Amino acid sequence: MIGWLVVVALSGAVLLALGAIARVPRGALGMAVVAVALALSGYAWQGHPELPSAPALALREGANFDAAEAHAHPMKPAFTREDMALNTADAMVRAHNSAGAVALLKSELATEPKNAQLWDGLGRSLIANGDGLITPAAIFAFDKAAAIDPADPMPQIVHALALAQNGRYDESAQMMKQLLAHAPKDAPWRAGLEE
């Protein structure tokens, strides 16, 4: 109801200002009254001032902070250059700038070519840049990450999932079977991979 009072008050103020202050001729003032009446009817037809406000959609799509996951890992003394590059690349992908994320990680890998986390991040960014399709470059990045740090299963898991997403189910199943064959029985990621 208050929305209507504001609209009517503003309309009246505009018409009063046009007639009393601007001294618009009667014919033009009549046209202004018609224009304001048309605007009010449009507002009555489509306006919904009673709807509650909501945050912008882009602000709600971001990943939620998981405190339990953050506490599961030991705290580092400070953010490393690798952390900053991976976090920035992740933010770029979420902002629909996956090409920028790929370029950033490539530049970081030029100075740290034996960093498995950067290779893994590059593979993920390449998949995002290809609209979810795995490319030979992404496969190369995951293979590099797995070769540098064979104890970390995540590059191989993401590689296998990407293969499955792209309809290459036999290759994906083969890769997952190999991972499960070498996985410890108490690995936290084992149950998800078995599913």
Structural domain contains residue 65? no
Q: What is the mean pLDDT of residues 183-187?
A: 78
Q: How confident is the model at residue 20 (pLDDT cuts 50, 70, 90)?
A: confident
Q: What is the mean pLDDT of residues 58-62?
A: 43
Structural domain contains residue 134? yes
Domain check: are 146 and 92 in the same one? Answer: yes
Angle at which helices 116-129 and 81-94 pack, to 10 degrees? 10
Domain check: are 167 and 102 in the same one? Answer: yes
Structural domain contains residue 121? yes
| pLDDT for the residue 1 | 60
Number of domains composing the chain: 2
Domain check: are 90 and 175 in the same one? Answer: yes
Enclosing domain of residue 188:
81-194
Structural domain contains residue 131? yes
Domain check: are 182 and 91 in the same one? Answer: yes
| pLDDT for the residue 110 | 92
Spatial neighbors of 172 by CB under 8 A, at least 6 apart, are 160, 161, 163, 164
CB 89 within 8 A of CB 125: yes
Most confident listed range (72-86, 102-116, 145-159) = 102-116
Tell how far CA 26 is from the center of its chain: 56
| pLDDT reading at 131 higher than 80 | yes
Higher-pLDDT residue of 58 and 132 is: 132
| pLDDT for the residue 99 | 92
Structural domain contains residue 58? no
Domain check: are 96 and 31 in the same one? Answer: no
**Half-sphere exposure of residue 18: CA atoms within 13 angstroms, side-chain side:** 18
Structural domain contains residue 64? no
Structural domain contains residue 34? yes
**Half-sphere exposure of residue 97: CA atoms within 13 angstroms, side-chain side:** 11
Higher-pLDDT residue of 113 and 24 is: 113
| pLDDT for the residue 51 | 66
Structural domain contains residue 51? no
Mean pLDDT, all residues of the chain: 79
In the chain, which residue ranges form alpha helices assigned H by DSSP?
A: 2-16, 26-46, 57-60, 67-72, 81-94, 98-111, 116-129, 136-148, 154-165, 169-182, 190-194
> CATH no. for residue 123?
1.25.40.10
Q: Tell me the C-alpha to C-alpha distance, in Å, between residue 32 and each of 37, 46, 100, 180.
A: 8, 21, 51, 76
